[in-house]
């Protein structure tokens, strides 16, 4: 039995979390949940954004499933997601994007995995503002060590999963230092994995190529801000934010969460698609070595997706979040 820290989060978070829990219970997955929340709801109730009890639970269990969290906009509120990623050095943000039968998309044959550096770059939190001059500076901190770790992780993943190519998306032509550092780190990692093809593309061209011919990409690695933007772009290639999974992985802790946010526009209406969080939870099961359970639930999900009327509105169906979950449960073999 694995004990997992469960962070329901804000907005649609609790709705999609309940759906995933129901599917896991029905499939008799050997997981027990330790629920600890963070975010806007927690802040409104307790005055704390990230309670110590959550940190204790994470440090004990080392694996978590997390719903999206609303970070209040404005001074003094640091993003909880970024805080957790930096505090526990969850330096890999892994986001697979794959076209799936039954999920409408303009494309076919997309099957890529994005590796986003998750602790540095423009999300380092190093920002200053000089009120007198009206100038803000946001530091794009990139370290040799951080670049090596994420590039190596992307190649190691490619080698382990039988993938053929790693593409670095960067802006080394303009960001002479930060960009070049990442490019060099990738070239170094490529030497260790001669069986994997390495190529690099400038980020603007990369966006065009992804929209134009996404099936050419296999594993993509990039810095934090570019990765944040590219991952929503990739979601758009394969059916939208309701269906793409993600994982924040460090050397000794992993937090699994969907790419999407708390979707305040549909929160509380039972409309949210639980697929993205479910797929994140399946990545978690693979991480725990529970491959058979993951494959069984994935097969039930894939079978359900082939009947769009049993899915949520974003996939063209009429089902509520829990009706969709029930349809997946009904397909469990
Ligand atoms: P969002 O991802 O919450 O929503 C964008 C659009 O996609 C909305 O129209 C929403 O209805 C739709 N959508 C998202 N997830 C869906 C699902 N599961 N099923 C159906 N439709 C779905 O992005 P937005 O509106 O920019 O951000 C809202 C809040 O979420 C912000 O406070 C932001 O900071 C936070 N956020 C949190 C993240 C996290 O906790 N990892 C990641 C991204 C944003
Ligand atoms: Mg994002």
User: pLDDT digit string (tens) for 117-167?
Assistant: 999 999 988 999 999 999 999 999 999 999 999 999 999 999 999 999 999
Distance 276 CA to ligand 2 centre (A): 13
pLDDT band at 77; cut points 50, 70, 90: confident
Looking at 237, 270, 295, the residue that finishes a domain is 237
Distance 156 CA to ligand 1 centre (A): 30
Looking at 237, 269, 295, the residue that finishes a domain is 237
Neighbours of 122 (CB within 10 A): 18
- Identify whether residues 163 and 284 lie together within a single domain: no
The residue whose C-alpha atom lies closest to atom 5 belonging to ligand 1 is 263
pLDDT band at 39; cut points 50, 70, 90: confident
pTM equals 0.95
Distance 194 CA to ligand 2 centre (A): 32
Which numbered ligand comes closest to the C-alpha of 248? 1
pLDDT band at 75; cut points 50, 70, 90: low
Does the pLDDT value for residue 86 go beyond 90?
yes
Q: How many CA atoms lie within 13 A of 255 on its CB side?
A: 29
pLDDT band at 225; cut points 50, 70, 90: very high
In a domain, 13, yes or no: yes
Contact call for residues 234 and 276 (beta carbons, < 8 A): no
Does the pLDDT value for residue 6 go beyond 90?
yes
* ipTM score for this prediction: 0.98
Report the percent of the chain where pLDDT is more than 90. Answer: 90
Closest among 38, 47, 51, 85 to 228, alpha carbons compared: 85
Backbone φ and ψ for 130, nearest 5 degrees, come out as -100, 105
Average the pLDDT over 258-262 and give the result: 93
The residue whose C-alpha atom lies closest to atom 39 belonging to ligand 1 is 68
Which numbered ligand comes closest to the C-alpha of 71? 1
Closest among 152, 283, 143, 120 to 221, alpha carbons compared: 152
For the chain, the domain total comes to 2
Does the pLDDT value for residue 316 go beyond 70?
yes
Q: Which pLDDT belongs to residue 304?
A: 97
In a domain, 183, yes or no: yes
Q: Is 69 helix (H, G, I), strand (E, B) or coil?
A: coil
- Identify whether residues 110 and 213 lie together within a single domain: yes
Domain residues for the domain of 140 are: 106-237
CATH number of the domain to which 3 belongs: 3.40.718.10
- Identify whether residues 285 and 204 lie together within a single domain: no
Q: Which pLDDT belongs to residue 37?
A: 92
In a domain, 57, yes or no: yes
Q: Which pLDDT belongs to residue 111?
A: 98
Looking at 237, 258, 293, the residue that finishes a domain is 237
Q: Which pLDDT belongs to residue 71?
A: 79
Closest among 332, 258, 256 to 298, alpha carbons compared: 332
The residue whose C-alpha atom lies closest to atom 22 belonging to ligand 1 is 242
pLDDT band at 43; cut points 50, 70, 90: confident
């Amino acid at each position: 039995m694995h004990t997992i820290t469960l962070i329901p989060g804000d907005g649609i978070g609790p709705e999609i979390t309940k759906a995933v829990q129901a599917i896991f219970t029905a499939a008799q997955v050997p997981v027990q949940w330790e629920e600890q929340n963070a975010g806007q709801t927690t802040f409104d109730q307790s005055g704390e954004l990230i309670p110590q009890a959550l940190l204790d639970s994470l440090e004990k269990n080392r694996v978590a499933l997390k719903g999206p969290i609303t970070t209040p906009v404005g001074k003094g509120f640091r993003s909880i997601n970024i805080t957790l990623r930096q505090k526990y050095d969850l330096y890999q943000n892994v986001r697979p994007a794959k076209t799936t039968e039954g999920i409408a998309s303009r494309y076919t044959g997309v099957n890529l995995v994005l590796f986003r550096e998750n602790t540095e770059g423009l999300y380092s939190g190093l920002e200053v503002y000089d009120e007198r001059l009206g100038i803000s500076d946001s530091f794009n901190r990139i370290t040799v060590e951080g670049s090596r770790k994420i590039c190596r992780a992307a190649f190691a993943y490619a080698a382990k999963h039988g993938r053929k190519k790693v593409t670095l998306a960067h802006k080394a032509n303009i960001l002479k230092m930060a960009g070049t550092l990442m490019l060099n780190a990738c070239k170094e990692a490529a030497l260790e994995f001669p069986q994997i093809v390495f190529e690099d593309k400038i980020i603007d061209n990369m966006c065009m190529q992804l929209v134009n011919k996404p099936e050419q990409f296999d594993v993509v690695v990039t810095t934090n801000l570019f990765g944040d933007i590219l991952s929503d772009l990739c979601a758009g290639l394969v059916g939208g934010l309701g269906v793409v999974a993600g994982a924040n992985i460090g050397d000794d802790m992993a937090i699994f969460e969907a790419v999407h946010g708390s979707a305040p526009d549909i929160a509380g209406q039972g409309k949210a698609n639980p697929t993205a969080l479910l797929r994140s939870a399946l990545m978690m099961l693979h991480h725990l070595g529970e491959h058979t359970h993951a494959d069984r639930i994935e097969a039930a999900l894939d079978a359900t997706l082939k009947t769009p009327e049993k899915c949520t509105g974003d996939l063209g169906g009429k089902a509520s979040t829990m009706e969709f979950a029930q349809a997946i449960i009904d397909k469990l073999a």
